[in-house]
Structure 1
Amino acid sequence: MTTILLLLLLLAVLLYLGLPVALALFLSASAILVALDIPLVVAVQRMSAGVNVFTLMAIPLFILAGEMMTQAGIARRMVRLSENLLGPAPGGLGQVTILSSMLFGAVSGSALASASAMGSALGPEMRNRGYDADFTVNVSTTASITGLLIPPSHNMIIYATAAGAGISIGDLFIGGVIPGVVTGIALMVVAAIIATRRGYPRGSFPGLGPLLRSAAAAFPGILTALIILIGILAGIFTPTESAAIACAYTLLVGMFLYRELNWQRLKLAFINSARTTVMVMFIIAAASLFGWILAVLKAPEQLAEFLAPAMVSPALTLLVIAAMLLLLGTFMDMAPLILITTPIFLPIATSVGMDPVQFGVMLMLALGIGLLTPPVGSVLFVGCAAQGIPMGQALKTIWPFYLALLVALMLVTFVPALTLWLPTLFA
């Protein structure tokens, strides 16, 4: 236990000093290797093994597909469709932002990309129509979390890799659909209440013709997610193959149908996706080493023994796990936490009857909330930067949206059918 505490203390100190998460994971794990008199070459071997997984090849391809979708103007077309559908609702543009985030998240799979795209696309327009800056940030950032649940999500691929054999990526993908929609609806209810109290304007219904035209314009982009999901569930292709097909399909749609994905924008998409891929893969490699050290030190077993007195019932056990995931999510990015916490908490969750697919969706949502919570809060930080307001200003009024996300988390945690009904249906 002393060595485990030393490992976690080293990690906390390095993160406090401002080191990147991947580097902090690598240095703290390497220091423990030296202390245990294990050759440092083992670190290289474990990091190499951590990324030498065929399934992980889908991640850079999904990232590239998301970047090309952004450059091809798919986000703008989804915003137009959402505005025609929900513009007349209370807090019309706030509702539009949430639905657009759900649609764009379904094709990009990235909360960060969704928050950036929606904040840039809708933020100025909301400000021009009288919406307060804190409301625009709170809506766009919290709604981006739905992209972690609605497929395809590359974070679910990371979870499936960390969980080991027997976890179907197809089941994870389709299992996140209903929780993602429920989360979006919960946020819409909160946005409507706040918009009504603040007296924000409503839009008008444009008519059936403009609605159908906007739906036709957005449909090729939405079809990307459907092709991926149906192809995987039908056994036509693997998740990695589906990511490659998504790239090819997006390239064709962007260049020949929408005609907005020119060579300059394509080059930018490749550069951005390469940078993101390098960061993600380095984090996965470092987290794999860190997780291996925890396994060598038998951290999962010791944590289970430590928590045993508090786990007097399955419900309390799951509540403790959810609380710990929320706490950890405030201090570290999502990808390393998935790799570190899955081997620790998944056996405990399954021991009290939780299905691994349900745990995976709960993990995505709990850690996704952490992306909105200081001190890390990368998605909230991006949203505030896009709107040009201090994070403290957004935090003063974001708590109703936090409550909506926590309600969704409790539903996912304690209502298995919410996650498992669709996978069972398609099985």
Structure 2
Amino acid sequence: MGLHNIKMPDVGEGITEAEIVEWHVNVGDVVKEDDVLAAVMTDKATVEIPSPVDGTVKAIMGEVGEMTAIGTPIITLEVEGEGNTSAEAEAPAPAPAKAEEPKPEPKKAEAPKPAPKKPEPTPAPVVKPAAAKAHTGAPRPEGEKPVASPAVRKRAMDAGVKLEYVHGTGPAGRITHEDLDAYISGESAPRAAGTGRVANTSVEEIRVIGLRRKIAERMQDAKRRIPHITYVEEVDVTELEALRENMNATKHADQPKLTILPFIMLAMVRALKHSPKLSSHYDDANDMLYQYGAAHIGMAAQTPGGLMVPVVRHAEARDIWGMAEEIHRLAHAARNGSITREELTGSTITLSSLGRMGGIVSTPVINSPEVAIVGVNKVAVRPVWQEGAFVPRKIMNLSSSFDHRIVDGWDAAEFIQRIKMLMEHPATLFMEE
């Protein structure tokens, strides 16, 4: 039998370390070749580490949430044959022998002491109840005195309990012997007056690891480094929604169902022709702006593990149906965990939408190193004054953020106003310029 070390793999793109986010095996487990041993998180995606050999898990190095350098051993398997490392190399060095301690010299015999006199019997001490635990709730409001009988007050004083912290269940909040017993034993908890509901004082510690930690790092970096400007505009999507419903009702069976997102992406593509600077990456370390002719639109998608941003590549080359099909494919892959690293990188501008939970206004955070993000709020029917009367119209707000180092307020407003015009006159989305 031999030992086989498996190291943190090099996943490319210059990454020097990765985070262990999940172990799929335990020490003692028997694994087969290609069985998944662990999952690690890079800057962009989760990568599974398969076993290259059959064997038994001998040791696991590294804990979940730990950043580990590429090439560092993370798991050892016991395998048939010699393996790729020796057992002696893995075995801990034997502890050095302890020096023999000198034996103590025998003590000289002492003369026997006279037996002590038998003490006079004394009354047994009064055993007081254990002092109450630390106060677990706020005292009563200032000036409100606890209601209790003299016997309960004496017991509380003997136990070192302040009745201001004891909840009374008797009439008018009177503190009973049972209330005091419960408090001393630590079983009581403050209740809302007259409700019988127990306050929940628990605190759960949740370690922030994996995708959630990556999201936190990227959002913190973006907000610290990028001066955001947010521009909000309302859009009347009544005509657009009527067109969308008609297209869904008359589509072919092999065509995807249309949501509002493909229409917004199409409007973004058309608007970017007039505002090409907004499809860019800003390298602030080298004062370089990379302006892309392509519209690689990132699509913020909520998944069970957290926020991901799949990329609809070359949106400028897709029609409305191709856009919808790619959106559906990427969203499904993100939610079931099959999305690839390449499908999560390379966006030049991002579209963020919370669907029906979109609220009225939001302040989306720019997906660095991009310089713009378009935020979509929910569609709501509102009264709009038209031709001397209020009429119901479907209104949706666009809440969009821009990197103010690159994008001036005028440029931001011009971009959003062009999107608004295209969406309010949806036929123009399909007209060649």
TM-score range, shorter chain: under 0.3
The structure with higher relative contact order (CA 8 Å, sep 6+) is: 1
Larger radius of gyration: 2
Query: Whose strand fraction is larger, Structure 1's or Structure 2's?
Result: 2
